[in-house]
Amino acid sequence: SSASTPIRATLFPGDGIGPEISESVKQIFHAAEVPIEWEEHYVGTEIDPRTQSFLTWESLESVRRNKVGLKGPMATPIGKGHRSLNLTLRKELNLYANVRPCYSLKGYKTRYDNVDLITIRENTEGEYSGLEHQVVRGVVESLKIITRQASLRVAEYAFHYAKAHGRERVSAIHKANIMQKTDGLFLKCCREVAEKYPEIQYEEVVIDNCCMMLVKNPALFDVLVMPNLYGDIISDLCAGLIGGLGLTPSCNIGEGGIALAEAVHGSAPDIAGKNLANPTALLLSSVTMLRHLDLHDTADRIQNAILDTIAEGKYRTADLGGSSKTTEFTKAIIDHL
Ligand code: NAD
């Protein structure tokens, strides 16, 4: 595959530990001969008037053009007059679905060793529409927006994902018994899409029951699709099942087939620049990016090298109880390729 023309992908190394863990990804991709050519973009030091953000228009254009990218953590700059970096990316690139694979890492013991599920979160509306106001003193109101268009779009992505990845079941998570109109519409859209995928089992699970089932036996689930707020909470719950945010990858799917993979954690200013960061979450995010590109063999090779290194236990970063530096852990992964 190294002989084929390289695929251009945007890389935002980001802030704090971002550049160190991005370096780890670049070295491992180089060693594995992944046919990717990175276009690096940093967050600016001034507001770009065209985006009203520290992210430049050129950076956003790079993702739009390449349709695929990897994002390190970005520290939110303090001060007024600019849009949050993550919000800018989500709005400008129309990142409508957040996909988080959660699987047990062999050799890293948690309460369960059979977790293998995917959460797919609607990322543009619901309770996070930002429509809140005070009605009168002591009474406030927040609007939960659910649209047919956004619900069909995320449901379609979930079923498409399930089919493309050989998954058997999609569970729609909801509270339609109480939120009859909003979650009711979300479910109606999921049902419509489910009709088009008879080979994928479809079920509907009430959110409270879903939480109970997930902590009792996560193997009961396969692919979960849900509105924004439920997705925010459930995806962190699932991350906790496998060992926490330092290990959890994610990928944002946008309009026109854009995929922007990112680690779930932040810029970790407390350990930045000290060669202590664990690059696993960003690395596994880069693996989701490779899967999006259908480079499954390369994705498997890199994923296995990461998991084998962690399982072997000789080289682990401090957050996993080891004493290896970022660069030593990276080298160990390269040796396992
Ligand atoms: P954080 O995730 O950066 O750090 C929380 C704790 O986890 C720290 O002790 C840190 O050292 C540790 N940690 C995180 N990632 C690690 C890794 N890969 N290896 C080892 N240890 C790791 O959360 P925070 O401190 O709340 O936020 C710091 C900054 O990051 C803030 O500016 C915040 O806005 C930003 N942030 C960005 C994103 C993003 O870009 N998606 C997400 C969350 C936070």
Note the pLDDT tens digit of each residue in 311-331: 999 999 999 889 999 999 999
CB-defined site of ligand 1, < 6 Å: 17, 73-76, 86, 246, 262, 265-271, 277-278, 281, 319
Instruction: State the average pLDDT for the chain.
Output: 94
pTM: 0.92
- Residue 190 tokens, joined: 């999921």
CA 268 to ligand 1 center in whole angstroms: 4
CA 17 to ligand 1 center in whole angstroms: 9
Q: Supply φ then ψ for residue 219, to 5 degrees.
A: -70, -5
pLDDT at residue 80 in the model: 72
pLDDT at residue 2 in the model: 47
pLDDT (tens digit, 9 = 90+) per residue, 173-220? 999 999 999 999 999 999 999 999 999 999 999 999 999 999 999 999
Q: Which long-range contacts (CB under 8 A, 24 or more apart) does 27-31 make?
A: 27/330, 27/334, 28/283, 28/302, 28/305, 28/330, 28/333, 28/334, 28/337, 29/286, 29/302, 31/334, 31/337
Q: Which pLDDT band, with edges at 50, 70 and 90, does 1 fall under?
A: very low
Number of Cβ atoms within 10 Å of the Cβ of 165: 13
Test site for ligand 1: of 20, 235, 267, 282, most ligand atoms within 8 A of the Cβ: 267
Q: Which pLDDT band, with edges at 50, 70 and 90, does 3 fall under?
A: low
Spatial CA neighbour of 35 closest among 260, 259, 299: 299
CA 290 to ligand 1 center in whole angstroms: 24
Mean pLDDT to the nearest integer, 262-289: 96
pLDDT (tens digit, 9 = 90+) per residue, 120-147? 999 999 998 889 999 999 999 999 999 9
Nearest CA to ligand 1 atom 1: 266
Helix H, strand E, coil C: the string for the chain is: CCCCCCEEEEEECCCCCHHHHHHHHHHHHHHCCCCEEEEECCCCCCCECCCCECCCHHHHHHHHHHCEEEECCCCCCCCCCCCCHHHHHHHHCCEEEEEEEEECCCCCCCCCCCCEEEEEEECCCEHHHCCEEEEECCEEEECCECCHHHHHHHHHHHHHHHHHCCCCEEEEEECCCCCCCHHHHHHHHHHHHHHCCCCCEEEEEEHHHHHHHHHHCHHHCCEEEECHHHHHHHHHHHHHHHCCHHHCEEEEEEHHHEEEEEECCCCCCCCCCCCCCCCHHHHHHHHHHHHHCCCHHHHHHHHHHHHHHHHHCCCCCHHHCCCCCHHHHHHHHHHHC
